[in-house]
Amino acid sequence: MRDIEAMIRSTQRKVAGETRVRLDAGRFQVTGVRSPFTLAGEAFGRYGEEASLWTGDEARAFAKIAAIPALLAASREGSPTW
């Protein structure tokens, strides 16, 4: 239990900032966020420009890893894989 508590404390260290939320009947929508720890800031990349956190090769490798569950599920169902 103490390990789980320590892990949760560790993951929340950099959770800070503000969130704007629009509330409608039966739903909500996040309309904006601001945090000193954001990964969406200009320091990390801009639309149409190269990201500074990862290379293209790293992004392709992540995409392949992320596709593994779908590929496994498709092979179990007898569907053709990509």
The token pair that represents 72 in the structure block:
């496994």
Q: What single-letter DSSP state applies at residue 13?
A: T
Does residue 34 form part of some domain?
yes
| Model pLDDT, residue 47 | 56
Where does the pLDDT of residue 23 fall: very low under 50, low under 70, confident under 90, or very high at 90 and above? very high
| Model pLDDT, residue 18 | 92
Q: Which domain holds residue 9?
A: 1-38
Does residue 45 form part of some domain?
no
Does residue 33 form part of some domain?
yes
In terms of average pLDDT, the best of 19-28, 31-40, 51-60 is 19-28
47 φψ region: left (φ > 0), alpha (ψ -120 to 50), beta (else): beta
CB 38 within 8 A of CB 29: no
Does residue 73 form part of some domain?
no
Where does the pLDDT of residue 20 fall: very low under 50, low under 70, confident under 90, or very high at 90 and above? very high
| Model pLDDT, residue 72 | 85
Does residue 14 form part of some domain?
yes
Cβ-Cβ contacts under 8 Å for 20 (sequence gap 6 or more): 30, 31, 32, 33
CB 28 within 8 A of CB 13: no
Alpha-carbon gap, residue 39 to 45, rounded angstroms: 9
| Model pLDDT, residue 42 | 65
How many structural domains comprise the chain? 1
Q: How many CB atoms lie within 10 A of CB 71?
A: 13
Where does the pLDDT of residue 50 fall: very low under 50, low under 70, confident under 90, or very high at 90 and above? low
